């Protein structure tokens, strides 16, 4: 993951206990008791238990869990819309749990932006006025706030809708307005609490795709809450799965799918398609033979025969892919007395990057009779993927539990 390793957000040992007797939970063995036991003994409701995690700048971090798992409580605690009972929350190195009201207001207005499931648009304001509202609250001059609001509107694909009222927009478009409003203030951290769960499935998928494209452009630090596994796998750089107020597993989508820590997580992920999570890097192989453009056809033909291969990729001195040769091409080069392989190559080779998802390899595999070349961002050869490898990656047993 090409992200800064500097933490933008650090959460350390955060608890939230609702009720007037919350102190009893920390002063006894109730710290380790179930939610039901705590409620029965103290009358308190456990919201969060000893939560710790770290999010890097530019990272897309997903909090996932069923209703009642604590994910929405947690995201609200980050900016103290709900007050944590104990623990530390560091944003840009500062503990926001110690902020006074003035500092907290500044945090919410200038450092973070929030997008909720319910759009919360002002019905008598136009799209432009709604998007500019956060800047208006800040006290930004009208010309400045409208200019920045217009940029945010164009970023989310709503150019031309500036003067319409929210009632004239579809649900997906209204959610875009909510997102534009959060982006207009240029927050360092974007908090998104189930923003797409109220949308129709088709519109939801479109919004997910647009958010992926948007994040590629703006590179915000995003904390995203969802109960939908496929949404989490699609969007997240890392995922934290919650249950009963605790994080029970944290990792990349691939780690969560392939190494669930317990039966609860395994039940969550059992229906997830590996093709939507596994990348080319996880299934690529090192070819038995690689040839180089300065080699002659006779040498290449001998090497191909010894390795019992019908074709081989040809690389440059910098290990960049320049093409592919087979027996037929080598025979032709030898008859012509060619000095090196670069004189005749198959250049129409299927290619992908190491981060390409397996599901994106299917059309590449069907369009070529040769393996797919896996390259890094500079075009250097990393390995190849054959059709049988793609098929094998899809035929997997249920993942073993990580602690077994």
Q: What is the pLDDT of residues 283-330, one digit of tens each?
A: 899 888 898 888 888 888 888 888 888 888 989 888 899 889 888 888
Summarize pLDDT for 49-65 with one digit per residue, the tens.
Answer: 999 999 999 999 999 98
- Average pLDDT estimate for 34-39: 88
| Eight-state DSSP code of residue 357 | B
User: In degrees to the nearest 10, what's the CA dihedral of 38, 35, 114, 277?
Assistant: 160
Helix boundaries (H) for 185-245:
201-218, 229-235
Superfamily in which the 7-273 domain is placed by CATH: P-loop containing nucleotide triphosphate hydrolases (3.40.50.300)
Q: Does residue 95 register a pLDDT over 70?
A: yes
DSSP-based helix, strand, coil % in the chain, nearest 5: 40, 25, 35
How far are the Cα atoms of 169, 246, 275, 313, 370 from residue 367, in angstroms, in the given order? Answer: 41, 46, 18, 17, 9
Q: How far apart are CA 256 and CA 242, in angstroms?
A: 13
Helix (H) or strand (E) holding 100: none
What pLDDT sits at residue 393?
67
Q: List, edge to edge, every strand of the sheet that includes 321-326.
A: 290-292, 311-315, 321-326
Report d(CA 393, CA 386) in Å as an integer.
11
Do the domains 7-273 and 281-392 sit in the same CATH topology, yes or no?
no
The percent of residues above 70 in pLDDT, for the chain, comes to 94
Please tell me the distance from the alpha carbon of residue 400 to that of residue 129, in angstroms, as a whole number. Answer: 53
Q: Count CA atoms within 13 Å of residue 339 on its CB side.
A: 1
For residue 98, the SS3 value is: helix
The reported pLDDT for the residue numbered 55 is 96
Looking at the predicted structure, is the pLDDT value of residue 270 above 80?
Answer: no
Residue 309 vs residues 180, 221, 264, 299, 386: alpha-carbon distances, Å: 55, 47, 46, 14, 13
Inter-residue contact 182 to 114 (CB < 8 Å): yes
- pLDDT tens, 10-23? 999 999 999 888 87
Burial class (CB in 10 A: 0-12, 13-18, 19+), 79: buried
Mean pLDDT of the chain: 86
Mean pLDDT, residues 166-180: 89
Query: 285 with 389: CB under 8 angstroms?
Result: yes
Comparing 249 with 269, the larger pLDDT belongs to: 249
Residue 292 CA to residue 347 CA, distance in Å, equals 14
The reply to whether CATH 3.90.1150.10 applies to domain 281-392 is: no
Q: Are 46 and 17 in contact (CB under 8 A)?
A: yes
According to the model, what pLDDT value does residue 205 have? Answer: 83
Both ends of the chain: CA-CA distance in Å? 28
Q: Residues 399, 269: contact at Cβ < 8 Å? A: yes
3 state DSSP class of 195: coil
Which pLDDT score, from 0 to 100, does residue 3 have? 46
Query: What confidence category does residue 82 fall into, taking pLDDT thresholds of 50, 70 and 90?
Result: very high
Altogether, the residues listed in the chain come to a count of 404
pLDDT digit string, tens, across residues 351-399? 999 888 888 888 888 888 889 999 988 889 999 998 877 777 665 544 5
Domain residue extents for the chain: 7-273, 281-392
Q: What is the pTM of this model?
A: 0.72
Lowest mean pLDDT, pick from 34-43, 154-163, 328-337: 328-337
Chain segment 221-238, per-residue pLDDT in tens: 999 999 888 888 889 999
How far apart (Å, rounded) are the C-alpha atoms in residues 339 and 227? 61
């Amino acid at each position: 993951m090409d992200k800064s390793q500097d933490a933008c957000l650090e959460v350390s040992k955060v608890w939230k206990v609702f009720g007037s007797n919350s102190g009893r939970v920390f002063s006894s063995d109730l710290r380790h008791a179930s939610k039901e036991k705590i409620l029965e003994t103290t009358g308190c409701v456990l919201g969060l238990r000893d939560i710790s995690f770290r999010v890097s700048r530019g990272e897309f971090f997903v909090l996932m869990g069923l209703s009642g798992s604590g994910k929405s409580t947690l995201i609200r605690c980050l900016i103290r819309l709900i007050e944590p009972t104990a623990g530390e929350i560091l944003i840009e190195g500062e503990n926001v749990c110690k902020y006074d009201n003035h500092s907290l207001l500044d945090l919410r207005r200038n450092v973070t932006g929030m997008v909720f499931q319910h759009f919360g648009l002002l019905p008598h304001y136009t799209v432009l006025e709604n998007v500019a509202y956060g800047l208006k609250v800040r006290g930004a001059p009208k010309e400045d706030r409208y200019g920045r609001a217009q940029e945010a509107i164009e970023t989310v694909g709503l150019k031309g809708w500036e003067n319409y009222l929210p009632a004239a927009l579809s649900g997906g478009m209204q959610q875009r307005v909510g997102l534009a409003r959060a982006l207009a203030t240029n927050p360092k951290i974007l908090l998104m609490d189930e923003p797409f769960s109220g949308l129709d499935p088709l519109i939801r998928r479109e919004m997910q795709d647009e958010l992926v494209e948007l994040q590629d452009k703006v590179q915000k630090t995003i904390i995203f809450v969802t109960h939908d596994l496929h949404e989490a796998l699609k969007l997240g750089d890392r995922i934290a799965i919650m249950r009963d107020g605790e994080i029970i597993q944290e990792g990349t989508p691939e780690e969560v799918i392939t190494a669930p820590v317990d039966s609860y997580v395994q039940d969550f992920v059992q229906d997830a398609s590996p093709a939507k999570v596994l990348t080319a890097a996880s299934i690529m192989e090192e070819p038995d033979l690689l040839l180089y453009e300065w080699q002659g056809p006779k040498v290449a033909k001998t090497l191909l025969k010894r390795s019992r291969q019908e074709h081989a990729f040809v690389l440059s001195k910098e290990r960049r892919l320049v093409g592919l040769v087979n027996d037929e091409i080598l025979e032709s080069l030898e008859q012509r007395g060619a000095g090196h392989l670069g004189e005749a190559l198959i250049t129409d080779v299927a290619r992908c990057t190491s981060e390409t998802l397996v599901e994106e390899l299917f059309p590449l595999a069907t369009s070529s009779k040769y393996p797919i070349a896996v390259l890094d961002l500079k075009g250097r050869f990393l390995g190849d993927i054959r059709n049988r490898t793609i098929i094998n990656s899809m035929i997997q047993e249920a993942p073993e539990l990580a602690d077994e």
